[in-house]
């Protein structure tokens, strides 16, 4: 068993600790045009009001880190990502998770960011390692490492563990410490393979036992193609947190997911005196009035 | 109930074992193999597509129906005249370069196969050149591109351009689909058709192929 690692992210004077003994860190996923046609249309028009609202609402709902993605087809991502980050930073003061596959956009975003960001993401492909790791090192950022490589997404937990190992080793070579590598075991949809959820859980188990690193994932993918997705997502969230997930990229505005995270934290002794649970209850009650 | 009716409902239910049994007994009863294919399975996959379009059926149900159909086809194929298999037309499909998402593409493949197309599936992360080569090699008049990510969608345009550069713009029709793809985007990149979902992709495919018959 490896000791649990602590990842510290920051924005200006605010910092967030991600640790298996602490509260689950919700990384808000909403600022992303993929699959959200209204956001896509707004960004194309240069309308950032929705981005600002998404930032504020997610933080109010308990997200302590926000993912920022500006992948709009045909747009200049370098300029757009920086612009979206500026808009987000003008309304909330939480650490950001910079979500881009474009190295120039990533670098420009890191340049204007004050603090220690989380990069989403690097993967085991040679090209990705060689491009993203030096940038992460230069700007002192933490990184999300996806368990896939030049051969695609490995089918078994053991093979995904191998990719995680490679990611951690290669990061270390660039001087990025293990605690700054957050691993994404990859959640495939149970709609196409009913054992996909289990594969991801087993992957988490292996990686946590071996490296103790923090674990993230875009957990909503798990229910793609299925009805009543919020129930699947929230239950899977609870099980995954128990297995070792520490910072899911998720939608905190969905009550089922939000309550699942809080209830799991309390069940696992991560919510002292149940204060976060009670506070969230009062907030929901007030919102209903 | 006669063999065809039972086969039809077992295909919709996605019961592969039953489908294989039904086809065997239909063959034993000397029912015309083309009739088994058309009225038993193709009609069933059409119904599966309709159920999916209307939100009655979900992805796993579509996948198992598709698998049942494939199991049935394997048994039926030797009994069909060569001209009957894939008689509707050849189609090359794949997820564009940089994108590893394959569920939507697989569903489209199953539905096209279920509609009588000969489907050549290139898998995921397919480069523009690979699409062009495969279309040439197989003499396919139809190509289907899939993408889930807004960041890989531009590779659809590159693929369309590659067909143009290869001088195949007039001989090959390209259809596109995937979560971020819209009719507007389809028109913008100069693709020929847009499939809103796997079921509607089939009618788009048929429509595009019929253009060549004029």
- Residues B95, B131: one domain? yes
Q: Between A8 and B170, where is the model more confident?
A: A8
Of A118-127, A166-175, B47-56, B137-146, least confident by mean pLDDT is B47-56
Whole-angstrom CA distances from A229 to A32, A226, A233, B33, B149 are: 19, 6, 6, 41, 20
Minimum Cα–Cα distance from B99: chain A residue: A152
**Predicted pLDDT at A178:** 97
Tell me, yes or no, if A74 comes closer than 8 A to chain B by beta carbon: yes
Q: Hey, are the CB atoms on A191 and B58 less than 8 Å from each other?
A: yes
Q: Who among B98, B125, B153 is closest to A73 (CB)?
A: B153
> Residue A36: pLDDT band by 50, 70, 90 thresholds?
confident
CB A153 to CB B100 under 8 A?
yes
A265 lies in a domain? yes
Q: Are residues B72 and B94 in the same domain?
A: no
Domain count, chain A: 1
The residue among B82, B100, B117 that closes a domain is B82
Pairing of strands A118-123, A96-99: parallel
Interface pTM, i.e. ipTM: 0.75
User: What count of CB pairs under 8 Å joins A to B?
Assistant: 55
CATH code for the domain of B181: 3.40.50.280
Residues of B in contact with A232 (CB under 8 A): none
CB contact under 8 A, B150 and A71: yes
Span B36-69, pLDDT tens digits: 988 999 899 989 989 988 989 998 998 899 999 9
| B103 and B207 belong to one structural domain | yes
Backbone phi and psi for residue B90, each to the nearest 5 degrees, phi listed first = -100, 140
Domain count for chain B, please give it: 2
B93 and B64 in a common domain: no
- Please indicate, yes or no, whether residues B103 and B8 belong to a single structural domain of this protein: no
Yes or no, beta carbons of B150 and A101 under 8 Å apart: no
Per the structure, the complete domain to which residue B61 belongs is given by: 3-82
Q: Which residue ranges of chain B lie beneath pLDDT 50?
A: none
A residues 1-30 near B, CB within 8 Å? none
Q: Is B106 on the interface with A (CB under 8 A)?
A: yes
Picking from B47, B82, B117, the residue at the C-terminal end of a domain is: B82
Cα end-to-end distance, chain B, whole Å: 41
Same domain, B99 and B60: no
B93/B78 same-domain check: no
* pLDDT at residue B213, rounded to an integer: 63
In this structure, are B123 and B72 located in the same domain?
no
For residue B116, give how far its alpha carbon lies from the nearest alpha carbon of chain A (Å).
23
Residue A185 lies in a domain: yes
Question: CB contact, 8 Å: A73 with chain B?
Answer: yes
B185 touches chain A (CB under 8 A): yes
B119 lies in the same domain as B193: yes
Per-window interface: B 129-158 vs A, CB < 8 A: 148-151, 153-154
Neighbouring residues of A183: CB distance < 8 A, sequence distance ≥ 6: A144, A145, A147, A164, A167, A168, A207, A211, A213, A214, A215, A216
pLDDT value of residue A250: 95
Residues B138 and B33 in one domain: no
d(CA B148, CA A192): 15
Is A1 part of any domain? no
Q: Provide the mean pLDDT of chain A.
A: 95
pLDDT digits (tens, 9 = 90+) for A224-273: 889 999 999 999 999 999 999 999 999 999 999 999 999 999 999 999 99
Distance from B180 to chain A by nearest Cα, in Å? 6
Domain encompassing residue A133: 7-284
Nearest CA in chain B to A125: B98
Quote the minimal CA–CA distance from B92 to chain A in Å.
21
Residue A141, pLDDT above cutoff 60? yes
Contact at CB, B59 and A34, closer than 8 angstroms: no
In this predicted model, what pLDDT tens digit does every residue of A96-112 receive, in sequence order? 999 999 999 999 999 99
Distance from CA of A188 to the nearest CA of B (A): 10
Give domain status of residue A219, yes or no: yes
Residues B205 and B157 in one domain: yes
Query: Cis omega before residue A87 (within 30°)?
Result: no
**DSSP label at residue B131:** H
Which CATH number do you get for residue A99?
3.20.20.20
Q: Is B9 on the interface with A (CB under 8 A)?
A: no
Please indicate, yes or no, whether residues B8 and B50 belong to a single structural domain of this protein. yes
């Amino acid at each position: 068993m490896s000791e649990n690692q602590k990842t510290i992210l920051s924005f200006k004077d605010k910092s967030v600790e991600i640790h298996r003994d602490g509260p689950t860190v919700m990384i808000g996923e909403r600022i992303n045009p993929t699959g959200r046609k209204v956001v896509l249309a707004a960004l194309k028009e240069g309308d950032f009001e929705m981005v600002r609202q998404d930032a504020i609402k997610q933080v109010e709902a308990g997200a302590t880190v926000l993912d920022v993605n500006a992948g709009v087809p045909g747009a200049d991502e370098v300029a757009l990502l920086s612009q979206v980050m500026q808009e987000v930073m003008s309304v909330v003061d939480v650490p950001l998770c910079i979500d881009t596959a474009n190295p120039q956009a990533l670098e420009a975003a890191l340049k204007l960011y004050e603090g220690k960001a989380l990069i989403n993401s690097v993967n085991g492909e040679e090209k990705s390692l060689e491009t993203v790791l030096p940038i992460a090192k230069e700007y002192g950022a933490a990184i999300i490492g996806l368990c896939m490589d030049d051969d695609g997404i490995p089918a078994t937990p053991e093979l995904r563990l191998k990719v995680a190992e490679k990611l951690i080793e290669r990061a270390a070579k660039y001087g990025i410490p293990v605690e700054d590598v957050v691993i994404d075991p990859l959640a495939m949809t149970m709609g196409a393979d009913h054992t996909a959820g289990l594969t991801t859980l087993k992957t988490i188990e292996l990686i946590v036992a071996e490296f103790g690193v923090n674990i993230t994932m875009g957990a909503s993918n798990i229910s793609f193609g299925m009805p009543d997705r919020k129930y699947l997502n929230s239950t899977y969230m609870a099980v995954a947190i128990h297995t070792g997930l520490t910072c899911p990229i998720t939608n905190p505005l969905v009550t089922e997911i939000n309550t699942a995270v809080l209830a799991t934290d309390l069940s696992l002794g991560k919510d002292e005196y149940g204060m976060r649970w009670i506070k969230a209850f009062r907030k929901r009650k007030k919102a209903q009035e | 109930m006669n063999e065809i009716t039972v086969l039809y409902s077992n295909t919709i239910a996605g019961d592969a074992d039953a489908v294989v049994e039904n086809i065997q007994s239909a063959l034993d009863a000397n029912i015309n193999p083309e009739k088994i294919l058309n009225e038993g399975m193709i009609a069933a996959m059409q119904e599966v597509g309709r159920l999916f379009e209307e939100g009655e059926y979900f992805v796993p149900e579509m996948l198992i129906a598709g698998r049942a159909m494939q199991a049935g086809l394997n048994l039926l194929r030797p009994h069909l005249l060569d001209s009957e298999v894939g008689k509707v037309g050849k189609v090359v499909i794949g997820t564009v370069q940089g994108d590893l998402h394959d569920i939507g593409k697989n569903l489209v493949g199953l539905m096209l196969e279920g509609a009588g197309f000969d489907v050549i599936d290139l898998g995921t992360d397919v480069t523009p050149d690979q699409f062009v080569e495969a279309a040439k090699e197989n003499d396919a008049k139809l190509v289907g591109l899939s993408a889930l990510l807004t960041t890989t969608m531009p590779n659809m345009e590159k693929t369309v351009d590659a067909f143009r550069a290869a001088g195949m713009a007039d001989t090959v029709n390209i259809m596109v689909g995937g979560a971020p793809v819209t009719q507007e985007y389809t028109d913008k990149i100069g693709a020929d058709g847009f499939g809103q979902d796997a079921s509607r992709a089939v009618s788009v495919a048929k429509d595009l192929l019929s253009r060549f018959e004029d």
